[in-house]
Structures are given as C-alpha cells and as structure tokens.
A and B are shown apart, each in its own frame.
Chain A
Amino acid sequence: MHHLNKLDTKMALLEVKDLKVRVEEREILHGLTLTVNEGEIHAIMGPNGSGKSTLSHVIAGKPGYEVTDGQILFRGEDLLEMAPNERAAKGVFLAFQYPVEIPGVSTMNFLRTALNAQRKARGESEYSTPDFLKKVREVSKSLNIPQDMLKRGVNVGFSGGEKKRNEVLQMALFEPSLCILDEMDSGLDIDALRIAADGVNALHSPKRAMVVITHYQRLLNYIVPDIVHVMSKGRVVKSGGKELALELEASGYAQFEDAA
C-alpha cells in the first residue's frame, strides 16, 4: 500500500468515517474510522462492550441505532441512505453471531427468495427453479453441506456449527463483495470452527473483502488477517499487522482500555 504505483492502488470498498452511533440515549461509537479495500481481510478485536457488534449492525442496517455523526460509504455510495435489503443487493453481507431460526420457511425457499430478490434489485434476471437447484447443489457440495439441511426450516433445530455453515453457504451463494463475520467463533467447538473457517477461506478472493469481528485470537489461527484493529470504548485505538493479534493474546486488552 505504501507504493504509489497506480496499478498497486486498491479500490476502497468500505469507508467508515468518524462514525458516532447512539442506542437509546447512550453513545456507543464515538467517532470510529475504518477503511477496508477490496480483497483485504481485516480483524476487529476488542473487549466486550467496545462496540464491535454495534459497528457490524450499523453497517448492515439493523434498526434501533441512531447515527448522529459521520458516514459509511460503500464503493463511494452512502450506505446509511439504503434499506438493509438494498445494502445486501449492493454486496454487503453480515454473518450473524446468532443466526435466527425461522420455523415454517424452508432453507431452500429462503435461499431462492433471497437470491432472486438481490438479483432483481440489481436488474439481473431471476434464477429459474432448476437453475437455482443446480447452483445451490454445487455450492452446498463444495462446502460439504448435506442436502437434508436445505429442506429443513431456516436454522430450525440446527446445531451452532450448522447455523454458521448455513451463513457460509449464503455467503457463497449470494457472492457479496464485503463479508462481515460477527463473532463467528461464539458457541463453536474447535472442529466446527475449523469447518466454518475453511468455508470462509475458500470464499476469500481478490475482489472480496472480509471483516472478522472477534473477541478471541483463536479464530485468527484459521482466518489470517491482513490488518488487525483494536477497538476500545467505541473507537479504533490501534491498527497493525497480524502480529498485533498475538500481542493481544499475550497481554490482554487492559493496555488499550486506558488508551481510549
């Protein structure tokens, strides 16, 4: 990035500028700035309550958050002006920390409805049922997801690992350009974590950026970041290479709590 060679300049995908966010009357983010370029993997680490999940929710457009200052640009467009579904169609994908269960809506029907809604919003042709089935079979096979899971209600009765794999499946199917993984490791044992992380790694590409939000360093053994940010009290207080995560693992977050 320090080369000024034009060919080497990456396109800024996500630009969060001096973002201030309130929930009810309390300010959670106090002027957060973050730039993610195409193809990069960023890790956002921080203690509980530092505002990591708030950031992911505001990027995805979850209601209940009030942006009082700053902006979020996605490929230069104002993301905050878009409804959540418009953001999804533009290529923003939030992998939920706790994916919800939707009884009565089969995973297959959900996937097809969502994919076609995104394509329609982009002015692309909708998938016919046979074409969709072909695509979903291909993708689920590559991620070792059993067909049986697709027939069940969305996440209904899924284990923690299955829910996260379902998120990865959607990521593969919708082909977003920005994936935000919110505490993907929560509730997973090591085996489930490895399977989910393998899925994420398989989807990483020079055009697709990943933002990995995590409290613990262990996820970063499986998904290796280009840049690590430390969040504390609603701000990014330090950014660095992947070695920063190891440093945090050794010395904890306490040093940054004071810095903030």
Chain B
Amino acid sequence: MNVAVAKTGNGRAVSDLFASAEGRLPGSPSVIAARREAFETYERLGLPHRRIEEWKYTDLRALVGEVLPLAAAPDAAALKRAADAVKAHAIAGARKLVLVDGVFAADLSDVKALASEAGFRTLRETLEKDAGLLKTAATDAVIALNAAMATDGVVLDIADGAQLSAPIQIIHIATAASASAFTRSQVAIGKGARATIIESFVAAGASAYQVNDAVILSVGDEADVAHIRLMDDSPDAVNITSQFVTVGANTKLNFFNMTTGAAVSRLQGFITLAGEGSELSVNGVNLLQKTEHGDTTLVVDHAVPNCVSREVFRAVIDDRAHSVFQGRIIVRPDAQKTDGKMMIRALLLSDEAEADNKPELEIFADDVSCGHGATAGALDDSLLFYLKARGLPEKQAQALLIQAFVGEAIEQIADDDLREHVIGIAERWLERRQ
C-alpha cells in the first residue's frame, strides 16, 4: 500500500529533484552511490503521512505536500544578508560555525579561534573520503532524504578532557526563498570533556523555505554537555530535524529545545543512554501561534542500568496552532534501576489551539521507576485579574504569565549570555502576538 502511494505525485517530484541536484552533491563515487540508495529508500516510502504511526499527528503530505528544489549555493548578496543575520543572532562569547542555505560559510565562522579547542571539518570534506556519516542507527523517509541530499554540515571533534572555554554556536541561515537546505552534522565529545553546543535556525530575508537537518551527537564517559537548539525559522518555513544521540557512562547531558518559528516543524530525537550512571535532562519549549504546527518526538532508550532521564516539555499554543509531543521511554531488560520521568505541560491561549500528547513507556526491566504526566489548561484567571488590577493591560498580563511559564525551562540554562539570548527570542515571539 505504501509503495503504491509513494509512486504518486510526491515521489515523482523528488525524483526529478534528485536528478537535478545530483551533480551538486558532494562526495566520492561511493558516497554518491550511498546517496542514491538512500534516495531510493525515500522514494519507496514517500513523505510520511498520518497512516504511519510515528507521523500520525504530523502528516507531511497534508502539511507540506512537496519537497522544494535544492537551494542554490549562496552568492555574494546572499552571504551579505547572512553576515547581517549572524550579527543579529550570534550569542555573545560563542564561537560561530555558520551554514548558509546548507553550505558552510568559512568567512562568517570562527574556525581559527575554534582550532585550539576542537577538531573541525565540514561534512563536504568528510564525504570526499567515505559515506559513514550518511548512515544512522534509525531511519525513516525524512532521514533517508537527508542522507541523499545533505550538501554540508559541521563535523566537530572535542577531545577527551577538553574543557571548552566558550560555547560553540552552529547557525543555520536561510537566504533562499522557496528552496530546500539539507544539512547533516556530527559532534563527537570525548571522555571527561565539557562543552556547550548551540544550534540556531534563522532566516535572512528568506520565506517559504524548507530545512531538513540531521545531527549525530555522541557524548563520551564523564562528559558534561549542554546542548541547546533554538529553532526560530521564518513563520512560513518548514523545519524537519532528526537527532541521534548516544550517551556514555557517568555523563551529564542537558538538552534544551525551543521552537518559535516555522509553519511546520518536527524535531525527532533518538537518544540512547548507553553507559551506566548518566543523567539526561530534556527541556522542550514550543511557542506556537497562527496556524503553526510544531512536533517534538523523542525516544529515550535506557539501554543500560542506573541512568536517570528527566523530560519536561512545555507548549504555549495560541490561535489555531497545533503542538504535538510524542515521548517514548524504552527501558531494556538489563536496564534495572532506571529512573525515567516525562512531564508535558500545555498552555492553551485560544479555544482553537490544539495539543496532542502521546507519552509511551516500554519497560522490559522489573526494578525501575518510570512515569509520565500531562497537564493542559488556560492561563489562570485569578492571576490574570491580580495583574490587571495592578494596571497591566490584558495582553501584557498574559505575556508576563507566559514568560513565567516558559521561564521555568529557560532558567535552567546556566550560561548568562545564552539565557539572555533565549529570553530575547521568547520575548520577540510574545511581541508578535500583541
């Protein structure tokens, strides 16, 4: 049945797209062969739709329809716009790695400053040798499409024991309207290393574009890592991101994601706790308005005993927006003493706002502590009245309470400059609804 569906419109359009893009895709002949294979997988599956369980709430055929042609490599004018965007979105003190329309922009990046603390290559360089980075543990249609089409990305190697003196900020900038960017990056963090990795997605004058990103992150034993993703794409863009995370023993990984942009977005994360004694904290924030659709789908796989995972997912949903959270916690038979908790909190600002939450626990061990909870509701009328009685107009009173709701997640970001930056993005989202 899927095969038959895939052969209709969508599959054909992408097929043409791949043929026209193939000559511009980097890689050795064996890499190109791997791409073609990945693309065939995509063609066979087609864009995910609601009859595929994992995509039930995010039917890309209905929401997106077609994949746009590959963006052209940025010209001088595009790079100029991107440079302005870098100024606007760079986090004070962070070392920047900039991708413009899916192509690494060395002139806008801090490669030299980074060199003393981390190994760096581009995906393009890596693919000249082998196709390893195009392979991932899990795959589906959008991941296969990414493997087929990825033009560039950053490949970071943070050595054992490295203590990064500054955060690394990977900035994805879209300058090309009505085009697609495919990026794939790898971050390998060594044993005992300490690092803050930030990913920002922004537009520089572009509209109605599509982003398909993949990230492969491995965190070594005893490492301490903050991973922050700030998706603030243009309100009419599409952002589909897949992340593959492997966590070693006795590590601390704090992952924070905030979605404030894109008409349609999906962040799908596959996190495997592969070493004992590790602590994973996930904080997700979806700020959605108008008819935006924001999906966060996370699979946390406790493969070994004695790990703790904490997921708190917050959504603020206005107008006719739609927030989706699917969280699965898997506890493998050996993973005794697992402590896994998941909490979903939705704030609905309009009668037409929608939140779909699907928590799932798959527990194969018998000595574990796992749970999930969910709340959904409007802003508290008694708090709103108190603020209004003190002189705040309705929208401002709402804004203060929304900030407080989101602030609980943002407060957990330790770095002051980074936290201020994130607060700024949330405030701009609030201004857009005034």
Contacts and interface: CB of A to CB of B under 8 A. Distances in A.
A114 B390 contact: yes
Contacts of A100: 380, 382-383, 386
B74 interface: no
A150 interface: no
B338 to A, nearest CB: 30
A87 B390 CA distance: 9
Interface string B380-411: 11110111111111101100110111011000
Interface stretch (A33-41, A115-123, A128-136): A115-123
A61 B381 contact: no
B261 to A, nearest CB: 23
Q: By DSSP majority rule, is chain B's interface helix, strand, loop, or mixed?
A: helix
Given A83-B394, A104-B405, A110 B400 contact: yes
Contact of A104 (B392, B393, B396, B404): B404
Contacts of B386: 96, 99-100, 102
A121 B391 contact: yes
B431 to A, nearest CB: 15
Contacts of B405: 104
Nearest to A89: B391
Nearest to A99: B386
Interface in A59-80: 60-63
A104 to B, nearest CB: 3
A231 to B, nearest CB: 22
Interface in A170-221: 170, 174
Nearest to A170: B390
Nearest to A103: B404
Interface in A139-154: 153
A102 B391 contact: no
Given A88-B389, A117-B391, 9 more contacts: A61-B388, A61-B389, A62-B385, A63-B381, A104-B403, A104-B408, A110-B387, A110-B390, A114-B390
Contacts of B408: 103-104
A105 B391 contact: no
A99 B390 CA distance: 12
Q: Closest 6 interchain pairs by CB?
A: A104-B404, A118-B391, A88-B391, A84-B388, A114-B390, A117-B391
Interface residues of A, number: 29
10 contacts: A83-B388, A84-B388, A84-B389, A110-B390, A110-B400, A114-B391, A115-B391, A117-B390, A118-B390, A170-B390
Interface string B68-88: 000000000000000000000
A245 B390 CA distance: 31
Contact of B385 (A63, A118, A174): A63
A152 B275 CA distance: 39
A94 interface: yes
Interface in B360-393: 380-383, 385-393
A89 B380 CA distance: 23
Contacts of B383: 100, 102
Nearest to A115: B391
A239 interface: no
Interface residues of B, number: 23
B393 A117 contact: yes
B167 to A, nearest CB: 25
A85 interface: yes
Nearest to B385: A62
A114 B387 contact: yes
Contacts of A9: none
Contacts of B381: 63
A102 B408 CA distance: 12
A117 B396 contact: yes
Interface string A152-178: 010000000000000000100010000
Interface string B45-85: 00000000000000000000000000000000000000000
A113 interface: yes
Contacts of B407: 104
A115 B423 CA distance: 22
A120 to B, nearest CB: 9
Contact of B400 (A60, A84, A105, A118): A105
A118 B400 CA distance: 15
Nearest to A153: B404
Nearest to B393: A85
A102 B387 CA distance: 10
A102 B385 contact: no
Given A63-B385, A88-B389, A99-B386, A105 B394 contact: no
Contacts of A121: 391, 393
A87 B389 CA distance: 8
Contacts of B392: 85, 113-114, 117
Contacts of A84: 385, 388-389
Nearest to B406: A104
A170 B380 CA distance: 21
Contacts of A63: 381, 385
Interface string B312-332: 000000000000000000000
A103 B390 CA distance: 17
Nearest to B411: A104
Contacts of B389: 60-62, 84-85, 87-88, 94, 96
B391 A174 contact: yes
A121 B390 CA distance: 12
A127 to B, nearest CB: 13
A164 to B, nearest CB: 14
A177 B123 CA distance: 68
A105 B403 contact: yes
B396 A105 contact: no
Contacts of A99: 386
